[in-house]
Chain A
Amino acid sequence: MVNKATRPTDLLIGQDLWNIQLDANGKLKHFLTIEGLGTNILNQILDTAESFAGVNESVKKVPLLRGKTIVNLFFEASTRTRTTFELAAKRLSADVLNINISTSATSKGESLLDTLRNLEAMQCDMFIVRHANSGSAHFIANHAAPHISVLNAGDGRHAHPTQAMLDMFTIRRNKGADFGGLRVAIVGDILHSRVARSQIHALNTLNTGDVRVVAPRTLLPKDIEQMGVSVFHDLEEGIKDADVVIMLRLQKERMQGALLPSEQEYFQLYGLTEERLQSAKPDAIVMHPGPINRGVEIDSSVADGNRSVILNQVTYGIAVRMAVMSMTLSGSIGNKNTSDDKEDK
């Protein structure tokens, strides 16, 4: 372990950090954000996930990451993200360690860096990190030992790239691989949403024809247009003729922060009902990163209806996370070794 106080790089952080996601050969080393990754990498993730989707359905387990240790390092509560990461790791035959930091070390005053150093000492190969602060996954990737890969499972309001990729996977399965003709509307609390930011980057990188956000101004960050979206404040107008409608979860805390008057008024204006969904295309799919608030951002009849692919998203989450794990831990091995599985399917 290097004494952090004497490491000069500690003082020079922030230089070209986007590039730390790729190794010298342009292969995925960390998966921190969609931003800065090319169409080729995103398609590679989707193709690899496609091959693993077969594993999930029939074989259940492949030995790709046998002998590797993966740490689920969650500083924020999560059920489905942590569980699907764990399942994905186990299906790749890795050993998984779940550490729930919100209830352990930090309450004893240990710094993030101290926690990191201790885990490194346990000979781990990958950290899957969720943390309340934007930029924490970058920070950890920048300070972890060189052999460790870092996967961002959600950092503050910044990014949740595996969620965005499982959403792209869901869209591709339903609408085909060419996103050029698609209109995708993301509805709800864009301001606080790392999911929305990653989705916007992913959709634009995959050349989606029309990406829209729909929300009242209190839930939209400034200059969001510069990320490549058009902005709507009216739900029906925003989802008009959309191929994909993505609803975001509305946290109850937003009422306290004076961002919204009430859940009732929000549902009246932005809740997705069967009736409102009429303005989207007849074959539009409805997505939600979960967990859903029935009667707040989405009506039960839509969430459970035939256009909802919400549960498929959860299933696909395992294949997509297997793809990202295998690509980051073994370079291109993930692609090569699983091509057989794809044939089998």
Chain B
Amino acid sequence: MTSSNQLLIKNGRVIDPANQLDTVTDLYISNGIITGLGEQPENFHPEQTIDASNHWVIPGLVDLSARLREPGLEHKGTITSETIAATTAGITTLCVPPDTEPVIDEPAVVELIHRKVENAGHANVVALGALTARLKGEHLSEMAALKGAGCVGLSNGKNTIKNTLVMRRAMEYAATHDITVFIEANDQYLSDNGCAHDGPVATRLGLPAIPYAAETAAIAQQLELIAETEVRAHFSHLSCARSVEMISQAKAAGLNVSADVAAHQLFLTEMDINSFNAQCHVIPPLRNQRDMEALRRGIATGAINAICSDHQPHEIDAKLAPFPATEPGISALETLLPLSLRLVEEHQIDLTTAINCVSNEPARILGIDAGNLSINSNADICIINPDAEWTLELDNIQSKGKNTPFIGWGFRGKVQYTIVNGDIVYSG
């Protein structure tokens, strides 16, 4: 790690969706803050200069959903291992869900995480607090205290709140304190411990199936509660075409909702399970081609606000079992930017939209000052060589979790530098 009070990034193509900026210019950084763009501020004597000619200079990525596994599951990942992996992938801020062990349902756990993040000194980390105590769906968490400790939102993680009255009250209370509620829509009765999409592949392989309605029925119910309580809500990890439609309609009706999709949902379908490829065991499950295309369109039209990694690192043994007995999830930090850029390569979206979906928009949803290159903002920056071609290989994965179905995939565009608070934390 290199520390410097003043840093100059010269001649890069600066792309900053938050400020509708896309131009070749210089970026000036002093004491961790962006102090100039194109115009040199007074008394600027950079200790270090990066020549970014033929490179893209974009806001550091903001990942809406990354499980770092600490505290509680350090054999899968630690705050240090995963924040390092994040910076190699251009991600400068990670948002962690509350389902750690112990659960993030009291300020002490938030403080523990913040302290560990600070000691590690790589990417920034913000936390979602638990919506209910122990995520049990019975009693409200001390939301105001959690907000006071720095939580940027509340969520019940993968633990659906079955009691709709508790959910309604949790939303009302969150709305009282102006906190965003994050929802992973999943009706646990309908998903019924399934492990694959209810379609021809699950039928052929005899895998317990998860129907569309497990997600869409949950979204429909939550939207009614959101309308009634007027809470600000974000839907995480959409997987169905119908979900995109519902969110789109809710927005048109004036509800204060947003949504994201995990990058892998934009590239994989149930067919990729092939014959029991446990690396494709994810929840929500990979759906079909029609859904994948609808999710891509959702990104293009803005119905879906953001792309996240839904990073879930695992130890090797977690995927070494018959498919239904494996743990779901992908180690995905290092494919978030590559897959997003690949959407641009495949002419699904333009470059500004891709960058917006992984920086400015997620930061806006979290209500944090990140994901932009405005003057006086924190200097969280990612510099990319857009022409570098590379292949994802097992040995190059920095995350402690090596569980990804994207091994062997070719990508164009490689992170050269990652800068957090003005410090170069990674150089490729």
Instruction: Give A residues with C-beta under 8 Å from B.
Output: 4-5, 8, 10-18, 35, 111-113, 131, 133-136, 138-139, 143, 155-159, 194, 197, 221-224, 226-227
Contacts and interface: CB of A to CB of B under 8 A. Distances in A.
Given A10-B316, A139-B276, A133 B325 contact: yes
Contacts of B279: 11, 13-14
A221 B203 contact: yes
B72 interface: no
Contacts of A35: 204
Contact of A5 (B199, B316, B323, B324): B316
Contacts of A112: 321-322, 325
A17 B279 CA distance: 14
Contact of B203 (A10, A13, A224): A224
A222 B321 contact: no
B322 A139 contact: yes
B206 A159 contact: yes
B280 interface: yes
B323 A227 contact: no
Given A14-B277, A222-B200, A4 B320 contact: yes
A213 B235 CA distance: 39
- Shortest 9 CB-CB distances between A and B: which pairs? A14-B277, A157-B206, A158-B206, A133-B322, A135-B276, A17-B275, A136-B322, A221-B203, A135-B323
Given A11-B407, A13-B277, A17-B275, 20 more contacts: A4-B320, A14-B276, A14-B277, A14-B280, A15-B274, A17-B276, A113-B321, A133-B324, A134-B205, A134-B206, A134-B276, A134-B322, A135-B207, A135-B324, A138-B276, A139-B321, A156-B324, A157-B206, A197-B204, A222-B209
A136 B320 CA distance: 11
A13 B278 contact: yes
Given A17-B276, A134-B322, A139-B322, A194 B316 contact: no
A146 B402 CA distance: 25
A17 B322 CA distance: 13
Interface of B: 198-200, 202-209, 211, 273-280, 316-317, 319-325, 394, 402-403, 405, 407
Contacts of A157: 206-208
A157 B200 CA distance: 14
A227 B276 contact: no
Given A17-B274, A133-B325, A159-B206, A223 B199 contact: yes
24 contacts: A10-B316, A11-B316, A11-B403, A14-B274, A14-B275, A14-B276, A14-B279, A14-B280, A111-B321, A134-B205, A134-B206, A134-B207, A134-B324, A135-B207, A135-B322, A138-B276, A139-B323, A197-B206, A221-B202, A221-B203, A221-B209, A222-B200, A223-B199, A226-B204
Contacts of B316: 4-5, 10-11
Nearest to B404: A11
B394 to A, nearest CB: 6
Nearest to B408: A12
- Chain A CB count within 10 A is highest, among B198, B324, B405, for B324
- Chain B CB count within 10 A is highest, among A14, A155, A223, A226, for A14
A199 B223 CA distance: 45
Given A197-B204, A222-B199, A226-B203, A131 B322 contact: yes
B239 to A, nearest CB: 16
A103 B165 CA distance: 43
- Chain B CB count within 10 A is highest, among A11, A111, A226, for A11
Nearest to B203: A221
A15 B277 contact: yes
